[in-house]
Amino acid sequence: MIGAGKAGFELDPRLERDTAPVLWLGLCELRLMDDRRWPWLILVPQRPGAVEIHDLTPLDQTMLTFEANTVSEALSQVTGCHKINTGALGNVVSQLHFHVVARNENDPNWPGPVWGYGQREPYRREDLHGFIEKIRARLS
Amino acid sequence: MIGAGKAGFELDPRLERDTAPVLWLGLCELRLMDDRRWPWLILVPQRPGAVEIHDLTPLDQTMLTFEANTVSEALSQVTGCHKINTGALGNVVSQLHFHVVARNENDPNWPGPVWGYGQREPYRREDLHGFIEKIRARLS
């Protein structure tokens, strides 16, 4: 599933800063939010200018669904979490990106949402790399 | 697009209490959150026991995507909103349900999420019915 980026696609600099690369899927670049409070993956469709899911072509909508659900199931299996939360907000970073977050009943903002809650807490480098390797192994 | 409910499907009583019926789509029951703070639609796949999107069959995942994006585009057109937010959380009500929310830069919790923010503010009855009619007209 690893492939090259799409022509003309550039990752938003805030997404670049707050996340680390995991894999390139068929449509999306898959990244890990560098926030150890929650196992939190982000899919970014490699389509320049995309903002809303409903503005993607039907084929891209279907691809995003397939990739997001594959990632969601993998994250659920790797973490053994209680619940997956998914969402596409884009109120701060308008570049279309899709969140897949593993939630547990004792996590920092349960049962509230992860978005907009407190401050990001970066992983230690070895923990970041270890978690990315687990996700890659499950998806490969 | 109006059809009967699916055999064995029962709407969660909290969703029943907090929302009003709009339409039955092919897979989902479409409902309006009775909260005038945000134009907020909810799609509930009529599949008994469904909790996670990735546990739906691939066909149902695709149907949900198609219905959610049709609803998302309609809500965007009816409201002229700045941004659509979508999400599937299920941390409080586990029955699978998919949120489609119209957001604007001056709304109560912009750019934060709608979930878990403040108290629901019910519509006046005539406003509720009027808004539901607008959504129905756009989707029919």
Quick one: which of B138, B38, B22, B17 has its CA closest to B87? B38
Which residues in chain A have Cβ-Cβ distances shorter than 8 Å to B111?
89, 91-92, 116
- Mean pLDDT, residues A96-106 taken together: 98
Chain pair A-B, CB pairs under 8 angstroms: 102
- Tell me, what DSSP letter sits at residue B53? G
Q: What is the CATH number of domain B13-112+130-139?
A: 3.30.428.10
pLDDT band (50, 70, 90) for residue B7: confident
Reduced to 3 states (helix: H, G, I; strand: E, B; else coil), residue A49 is coil
Q: What is the CATH number of domain A13-114+123-139?
A: 3.30.428.10
- pLDDT (tens digit per residue) in A50-92: 999 999 999 999 999 999 999 999 999 999 999 999 999 999 9
Quick one: which of A128, B79, B34 has its CA closest to B71? B79
pLDDT band (50, 70, 90) for residue B5: low
Which residues in chain A have Cβ-Cβ distances shorter than 8 Å to B54?
69-70, 72-73, 76, 84
Q: Which residue of A has its CA nearest to B69?
A: A54
Distance from CA of B18 to the nearest CA of A (A): 17
The alpha carbon of B69 is separated from its chain's Cα centroid by a whole number of angstroms, namely: 11
pLDDT band (50, 70, 90) for residue A5: low
- Mean pLDDT, residues B113-129 taken together: 98
**b/e map A45-84, b = 16+ CB within 10 Å:** bbbeebebbbbbeeebbbbbbbbbbbbbbbbbebbebebb
* Cβ–Cβ < 8 Å for B107, B84: no
pLDDT band (50, 70, 90) for residue B80: very high
Which residues in chain B have Cβ-Cβ distances shorter than 8 Å to A76?
52, 54
Quick one: which of A80, A128, A124, A125 has its CA closest to A102? A80
Q: Which residue of B has its CA nearest to A71?
A: B54
- Entry field: residues in chain B: 140
Percent of chain B with pLDDT over 70: 96
pLDDT band (50, 70, 90) for residue A137: very high
Domain boundaries, chain B: 13-112+130-139
- Mean pLDDT, residues A110-119 taken together: 98
